[in-house]
Amino acid sequence: MPTARAISSAVLLSTAALLASSLTACAPAARDGDRRGDGGTATDEQALKAFRGQSPDWQDCPAPAPVQGGGEAPRALPDGTAWQCATPRAPLDWKKPAGESMDLALIRARSSGDAADRIGSLLFNFGGPGGSGVATLPGLAPDYDKLRARYDLVSFDPRGVGNSRAVRCSDPALPDDSEVDDTPDDGADELAALVAFNRDTAAACERNSGDVLPYVGTTQAAQDMDLIRQVLGDEKLHYFGISYGTELGGAYAHLFPERVGRAVLDGVVDPTHDRMAEALAQAGGFQRAFEHFAAWCAEQGCALGADAERIVAATVALEEALDDTPLPVSDGGELDGDALIDAVSGALYRQDYWPTLRVALEAAADDDGDVLQDLAEALGQRGGDGAPDASDAPDASDAPDVSDESDGSNEEDAFRAITCDDSSDRYTAADVRARLPEFLRASPLFGPGLAWSALSCAGWPVPGTAHRPEVSAPGAPPVLLVGNTGDPATPYEGAARMAERLGKGVGFELTFEGEGHGAYDSGNGCVREAVDAYLLDGRLPAPGAVCEAEPLPEGK
């Protein structure tokens, strides 16, 4: 889910090379992504049968395209298993399957265990919306190596993302979003600029991707997941969803309860919230997480203050001062209040970023903004879900390395498009002003930016479908929900509400008393043991089970 900037990473082969590497063996439609290849005579049922009967043509994976975030081709796993990629076809509009079709970009690593022990495929969505699963899975695969004993590890670019008919809103006429104040508090001009930016971005999205914008919502992506299940040859969908991936998993369970296999939802989105309520809950979640950081910092002898309350107050005062008078940094730029919020919110996604955040804030308070600026830029290189890349944690002993690699990802564009397609909420500046006091009470540091992010769908050319996608799934098997008490982006309370909405006997909760966004990728042994036991052996944890965090090492 987004942080305070809210709407704020890899391949480009030529189109011909990309298509040549990933043709499907039984494509039901033309490869140009525009028209079906049946002469216009197929019925919807015939088209669906053709889609379901595809056999993906797995090929060695190329490097991720710039639109996916860029980078090198994925290396073979330590046991020599190569990554394979394919692009089966899906209907552009699931309501009209005999119409246009599109590619779905897939990646997999085959199971390392004996064939007799293989359960099937385990499909991942790492969050967002807007993150490329094809680009993300290889980097995170070591975290899931134990699961590969019984599953093929599989992920995909959801529709509108990366190599799955990417949404594009880029336009030379648009200002860089860093030039637009996310928290317009210095008069009418700042607010007018923010409103205009959102309006002009929506118009650019329509110009560049108007043909796909109506079809990128979570419900249609969930239908894609069932198609993926079928073309992979699995009777059930075994699934691991993180953050936004929990919303997608809930939507799948609602549509196909009888097809749910072993499913884990980690960092659970609250399915009862509209977008404004979600933003307000996040303001409270980030505030709570920052107070936890501040308490830890005080225990370390933090120079910002003797206790958590003083450290929080000092940081708020520093952000306000930087908003008024940015601090020059050594690369010739400036550290402003937005950069401070970027650095702080990004560092709250993982507890092992806390030592670097402490050093950065102490230095900035002493008029040295270099470390905080570097941290803001490094943690701005986000993966799916707005979370910093888990494989690139900064070191407290040095400023993090900031990569300039690939600014071609469409993650931000896809985030906006999927969010606005899913939600019927269209807030105005007056709506935000009326709610702003609530956000300030929830968090003077994070509240304003999250409040004003509610304008991101203003002027959107496609009407949203509902406040949230439906997740009720009576009759589905147990779904394991992992809630983290210190989670800033998907506050802990969301897990209980998801369990309630899924239905009696479906949502099954595991609590992690820890910090950061999500739980499994924190590396906590208790969480991993519980999740692995369910996915590998079908054993749920005991009712009311709680896992406790392991403290940061001494001296950090």
> What amino acid positions are annotated as catalytic residues?
243, 487, 517
- At how many degrees (to 10) do helices 44-52 and 218-232 cross? 60
Are 413 and 170 spatial neighbours (Cβ–Cβ below 8 Å)?
yes
Alpha-carbon distance of 553 to 451, in angstroms, equals 36
- One-letter amino acid at 105 equals A
Rounded to the nearest 5°, which phi and psi values hold at 546?
-130, 135
Q: What tokens appear for 436 in the block?
A: 């702003």
Kindly list the distances between the CA atom of residue 537 and the CA atoms of 373, 483, 526, in Å, as whole numbers in the listed order. 46, 21, 16
Alpha-carbon distance of 481 to 510, in angstroms, equals 6
Question: What's the burial of 136, exposed, middle or buried (CB within 10 Å: 0-12/13-18/19+)?
Answer: buried
Q: Where are the alpha helices (DSSP H) in 423-487?
A: 429-442, 447-452
Alpha-carbon distance of 289 to 280, in angstroms, equals 14
In the block, which residue shows the tokens 């944690």? Answer: 393
Q: What tokens appear for 437 in the block?
A: 């006091």
- At how many degrees (to 10) do helices 411-422 and 188-209 cross? 90
Are 327 and 319 spatial neighbours (Cβ–Cβ below 8 Å)?
no
In the block, which residue shows the tokens 């009967």? Answer: 53
Whether the bond between 129 and the residue before it is cis, its omega within 30 degrees of 0, is: yes
Q: How far apart are the first and last CA of the chain?
A: 28
Which helix (H) or strand (E) segment holds residue 536: the answer is: helix 525-537
Q: What tokens appear for 496 in the block?
A: 């209980």
Alpha-carbon distance of 255 to 456, in angstroms, equals 28
- Cite the beta strand spans of 175-311 per DSSP E: 237-242, 260-266
- Cite the beta strand spans of 137-246 per DSSP E: 151-156, 237-242
Q: Where are the alpha helices (DSSP H) in 44-132?
A: 44-52
